Amino acid sequence: MRLDGERALAWRLARHALEPAAASSVADVARRVVALRGWPADLADRAVQVRLADPQPKALERALETGEVIRSYAFRGGSYVFTPEIAATYLAVRAGTGIWAKPRYQAQGRFALEDWEPLRAAVRERLAVGPATRAEIAEHVLSNPTLRHLAEGLTGFGSDSLYKPLHWWGDICFGPERDGQSTFRWLADDPAWPGLPDVADAGPRAVALYLGAYGPVTDRNLSYWLTEGLGVPRRELHGWIEDLGEGVTKVKVDDDDALVLTEHVEEIAQTSPSDTVHLLPGYDPWVMGPGTADARIVPPEHR
């Protein structure tokens, strides 16, 4: 089946609550775009504001404080805002790659595999009393003589290599900023946290969520999102697509082969093209979701 590229983008504008700005809440925005780059915080807030039917100052900050959404390390090692349910799906996918067990990653974070369980216990103990900065976590962890060799990694050395797996496992997420410093909070026991699903369930759902927000998507888009973004092997990614069965339809968008959720095919075909100009903040999901290499979103001459 053929779909018109302009109609597909107009449909996506509506899915993203950009035309019209129709999102009812920060969580609604997060569900619509799947993942929202969380830093810089002011740009993340603007990406939310332009989608809300009733924009409110610091809406994202309040939603993070209440746990309506969370911010965790995810794609390409950056921090992203998700609903707890969507975060659990994508973090399970990232955790399933086992990247922290690779020698290169261990060297980067200055740790060994046997350090993980005592470290997790120590971090949990410190965060049980509330969010803490890296320095505060380090002070507590290093009070255990058997963990003092982790001093460098606990400061954030190696792009937070020691903390990122704790995010991917659903142990911790970012807490409220304090005096210009990031904090982490204990997530695993939060009643709103669903826990990580099995990767066999999370993988197909991760694909479906992406198709629902950014469809129709090309193989390049999927590789950008899940292989380059989370380290998923391409063979595994293609297996997840197959697992979705008739829920996914192959289409031709202009000259490109693409995939779309079957339930959205007719909606896209019936959507009228849009010529409206939208001004978006830096790192907006409209651009970051498909990737800057997608010429439909960022023409090569403007990269």
Ordered per-residue pLDDT tens for the chain, 303 residues: 899 999 999 999 999 999 999 999 999 999 999 999 999 999 999 999 999 999 999 999 999 999 999 999 999 999 999 999 999 999 999 999 999 999 999 888 888 899 999 999 999 999 999 999 999 999 999 999 999 999 988 988 778 999 999 999 999 999 999 998 999 999 999 999 999 999 999 999 999 999 999 999 999 999 999 999 999 999 999 999 999 999 999 999 998 999 999 999 999 999 999 999 999 999 999 999 998 878 889 888 877
The verdict on residue 233 lying in a domain is yes
Could you say which of 179, 210, 236 is where a domain stops?
A: 179
pLDDT of 159 reads: 81
Could you say which of 149, 179, 209 is where a domain stops?
A: 179
The verdict on residue 62 lying in a domain is yes
pLDDT of 79 reads: 97
Q: Are residues 204 and 66 in the same domain?
A: yes
Q: How far apart are CA 226 and CA 90, in angstroms?
A: 9
pLDDT of 39 reads: 94
Q: Which domain holds residue 77?
A: 2-89+197-275
The verdict on residue 59 lying in a domain is yes
Q: Are residues 236 and 204 in the same domain?
A: yes
Total domain count for the chain? 2
pLDDT of 43 reads: 97
The verdict on residue 271 lying in a domain is yes
The verdict on residue 234 lying in a domain is yes
pLDDT of 173 reads: 98
Q: Are residues 150 and 227 in the same domain?
A: no
Q: Are residues 158 and 11 in the same domain?
A: no
Q: Are residues 75 and 120 in the same domain?
A: no
Q: Are residues 112 and 169 in the same domain?
A: yes
CB 53 within 8 A of CB 22: yes
pLDDT of 253 reads: 96
